[in-house]
Structure formats: C-alpha cells, structure tokens
C-alpha cells in the first residue's frame, strides 16, 4: 500500500500539560503518597467508585502523559479525600506567592479564593465596576443559596447591598421568592 509504513502506528505524543495540569498530576502523587496509597490502590478505589482508571492510567496521570478529564478529576478527589479545587491548586506555596494556572498568574491566596468561588479574580476596573463584576461572577459561579452570603463577605460590607439582593433574587427566583409553603 502506498504510504504504509510497515503497518506501524504513529507514535502517540504525551499531551503537553499547562501549569494547572502539572499541579493536578503533582497533587495526585503528593496526596497518594501522604496517605500511603499505591497507584494500584487508587486504581482499585476508583473502580469501586464506578470511575475505573487502570493502574497504567494513574501512572500516566502522575507522569503527565495523561490528562484527567473532569469526571476523572472529581473521582480522584473523592478517592483522595479532598476537594477537586485542592487538586487544581499548586501545593507548597505561600499565600503571597505568585502562581500560574493555565494562562493567569496571581497570588496563591487569590487563586484559591477563585477556585472555591469565594471571590472573582481581580481586575483593573475600580471599586464600582468590581462590585458589578463580583455580582456577575457570583451569579454564574454559585448556587443561589450561597450567592448572597458570600458576596457580602467578599465586598467587605458584612451585608449584601439592596442592589445585590434584588439582582440575585430576580435571577434565581424570576417568579418570586418561595415562601416555604410550596
């Protein structure tokens, strides 16, 4: 056959990991080691959970040769006893250290707050526009029962503004706030 290279398949290249992928692979290994688990133990626990990743898959995740998908990430977090955010966060850094996550570089504390939806990433818009950006962030990032409480803490007021309350309540309850008798 023309173009046949003796039936051999092209060599598959390992995916190039960015900073976040690298953090995930390092955290999986770090947390596994800290708990005295082998890669085979993690693989067995994932199988029991219903999200099988064979031993070689775990080894490839840890070496950066395999990218875990979102379902893998959550299952690994369950098996390792952490939040998925923990796997995404670079470890061994101080709060004020600048860290990379995909295409952003921010202080570690800011990245953590964003990963757990505590506050949006900072921008250069100024206080008034930041409040509006924060409202949009929480509107998209949080379930309704968390939005109002967290927004108040992020913006430092202790209480959400009336504007924030009205905006969120309209978004999450377009037909009016349930009275509990429904």
Residue scoring higher pLDDT (175 or 36): 36
**b vs e for 150-173, b when ≥16 Cβ sit within 10 Å of the residue's Cβ?**
bbbebbeeeebeeebeebbeeeee
pLDDT for 71 = 98
Average pLDDT of 76-84? 98
For 154-170, how does the pLDDT look when each residue is reduced to its tens digit (9 = 90+)?
Answer: 555 556 566 666 666 66
pLDDT for 164 = 64
CATH classification number, 19-88, choose in 1.20.1530.20, 1.10.260.40, 3.40.50.720, 1.20.1250.20: 1.10.260.40
Domain boundaries along the sequence of the chain: 19-88, 127-172
pLDDT for 1 = 46
Tokens of 101: 């996550």
pLDDT for 3 = 47
Distance of alpha carbon 152 from alpha carbon 77, whole angstroms: 29
Distance of alpha carbon 7 from alpha carbon 9, whole angstroms: 7
What is the DSSP-derived secondary structure letter of residue 117?
Answer: T
Is 85's pLDDT higher than 80?
Answer: yes
pLDDT for 2 = 47
User: Model pTM?
Assistant: 0.74
Average pLDDT of 28-47? 98
Backbone torsions φ then ψ of 56, nearest 5 degrees: -65, -30
For 43-69, how does the pLDDT look when each residue is reduced to its tens digit (9 = 90+)?
Answer: 999 999 999 999 999 999 999 999 999
């Amino acid at each position: 056959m023309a173009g046949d290279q003796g039936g051999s398949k092209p060599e598959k290249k390992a995916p190039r990991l960015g900073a976040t992928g690298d953090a995930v692979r390092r955290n999986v290994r770090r947390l596994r080691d800290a708990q005295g688990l082998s890669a085979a133990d993690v693989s067995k626990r994932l199988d029991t959970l219903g999200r099988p990743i064979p031993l070689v898959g775990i080894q490839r995740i840890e070496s950066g040769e395999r990218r875990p998908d979102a379902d893998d990430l959550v299952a690994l977090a369950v098996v390792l006893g952490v939040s998925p955010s923990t796997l995404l966060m670079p470890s061994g850094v101080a709060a004020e250290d600048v860290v990379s996550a995909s295409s952003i570089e921010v202080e570690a504390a800011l990245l953590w707050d964003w990963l757990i939806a505590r506050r949006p990433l900072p921008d250069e818009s100024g206080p008034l526009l930041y409040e509006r950006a924060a409202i949009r962030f929480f509107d998209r990032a949080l379930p309704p029962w968390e939005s109002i409480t967290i927004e108040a803490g992020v913006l430092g007021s202790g209480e959400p503004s009336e504007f924030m309350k009205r905006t969120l309540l309209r978004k999450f309850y377009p037909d009016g706030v349930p009275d509990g008798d429904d």
